[in-house]
């Protein structure tokens, strides 16, 4: 299955255009690194949580917006080879400084354990979930069932990826983001929708369906899971860029 490099970053809201241009420069430069797809998505419908949320994950300030992003690779070996090129290619040093605080960006490698669909879309639901290592298979079974539901409701693609190479950061990281306990891993997952209207209609139908309510124990702590809706602004798999650059 696909190997995911997942990112969450806080970007000054005023720097949206600069961020997009920086991401496009990066995409153009690293096409030969082995990245099959790059997606950058700008927060659109991201709630504040009582325990965890995307804002806390990256210590976002009031004037910052959260970006949910990922690279796709055919394997971990391809991802590791690409990361080596990121470290050694002299062109990396020629890029202008990123328009965000890289010290608060969280990133890591995730192995896809559920992958359904092959389409793309203009809207994404992103999730970060703490899952006990011993419940990985139970989580995958539940996630697979839910992926079928989302696909039936119009989702183009559903991916659930289990953290396989997550570093501990000095300021932020995935473990801190979900208040991970001993023995827990982290899942990075996303649902790709054709558009926000399809996504909103799907969630409304799911929330109104009593059969969708949790039955019994879930293989993760839902109170520490966080999620949100994001507008895709860069997708290298799309025929055209997904957003016109405006002044």
Question: Domains along the chain?
Answer: 3-235 (3.30.70.100)
Per the CB < 8 A criterion, the answer to whether 196 and 229 are in contact is yes
Q: What is the pLDDT of residue 246?
A: 40
Under 8 Å CB-to-CB from 188, ≥6 apart: which residues?
A: 4, 6, 70, 108, 110, 127, 128, 161, 163, 174
- Rounded to whole angstroms, how far apart are CA atoms 81 and 207? 42
Q: What is the pLDDT of residue 225?
A: 98
78: burial class by Cβ within 10 Å (0-12, 13-18, 19+)?
A: middle
Q: What is the pLDDT of residue 95?
A: 87
Query: Which residue intervals of the chain are DSSP H helices?
Result: 16-29, 54-57, 76-88, 136-152, 174-177, 196-207
Q: 3-state SS string over 24-50?
A: HHHHHHCHHHCCCEEEEEEEEECCCCC
**pTM of the predicted model over 0.75:** yes
Q: What is the pLDDT of residue 238?
A: 86
Per the CB < 8 A criterion, the answer to whether 54 and 101 are in contact is no
Q: How far is CA 75 from CA 78, 114, 170, in A?
A: 5, 15, 28
Tokens of 81: 């080879």
Q: Using CA atoms of 226, 232, 235, 239 in order, give the dihedral in degrees to the nearest 10.
A: 140
Q: What is the pLDDT of residue 54?
A: 98
Q: What is the pLDDT of residue 240?
A: 47
pLDDT by 10s per residue, the chain, length 247: 899 999 999 999 999 999 999 999 999 888 889 999 999 999 999 999 999 999 999 999 999 999 999 999 999 999 999 999 999 999 888 888 999 999 999 999 999 999 999 889 999 999 999 999 999 999 999 999 999 999 999 999 999 999 999 989 999 999 999 999 999 999 999 999 999 999 999 999 999 998 887 777 899 999 999 999 999 999 999 854 445 444 3
- Residue 153's region, left for phi above 0, alpha for psi from -120 to 50, else beta, is alpha
- Rounded to whole angstroms, how far apart are CA atoms 123 and 65? 16
Q: What is the pLDDT of residue 243?
A: 53
Instruction: Residue 201: count other Cβ atoms within 10 Å of its Cβ.
Output: 13
- The tally of CA atoms less than 13 A away on the side-chain side of residue 57 is 35
Q: How far is CA 96 from CA 91, 100, 233, in A?
A: 11, 12, 20
């Amino acid at each position: 299955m696909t190997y995911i490099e997942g990112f969450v970053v806080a970007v000054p809201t005023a720097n949206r255009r600069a961020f997009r241009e920086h991401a496009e420069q990066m995409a153009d430069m690293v096409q030969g690194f082995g990245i099959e797809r790059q997606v950058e998505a700008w927060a659109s419908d991201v709630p504040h949580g009582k325990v965890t949320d995307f804002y806390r994950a990256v210590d976002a300030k009031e004037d910052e917006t959260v970006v949910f992003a990922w690279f796709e690779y055919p394997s971990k070996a391809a991802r590791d080879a690409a990361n080596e090129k990121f470290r050694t290619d002299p062109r990396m040093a020629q890029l202008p400084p990123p328009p965000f605080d890289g010290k608060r960006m969280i990133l890591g490698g995730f192995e896809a354990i559920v992958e359904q669909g092959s389409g793309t879309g203009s809207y994404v639901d992103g999730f970060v979930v703490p899952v006990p290592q011993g419940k990985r298979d139970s989580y995958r079974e539940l996630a697979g069932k839910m992926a079928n539901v989302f696909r039936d409701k119009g989702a183009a693609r559903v991916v659930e990826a289990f953290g396989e190479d997550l570093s501990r950061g000095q300021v932020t990281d995935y473990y801190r983001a979900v208040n991970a306990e001993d023995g827990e891993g982290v899942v990075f997952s996303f649902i790709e929708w054709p558009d926000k209207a399809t996504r909103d209609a799907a969630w409304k139908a799911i929330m109104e369906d009593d059969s969708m309510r949790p039955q019994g124990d879930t293989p993760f702590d839902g109170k520490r899971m966080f999620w949100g809706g994001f507008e895709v602004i860069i997708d290298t798999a799309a025929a055209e860029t997904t957003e016109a650059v405006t002044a």
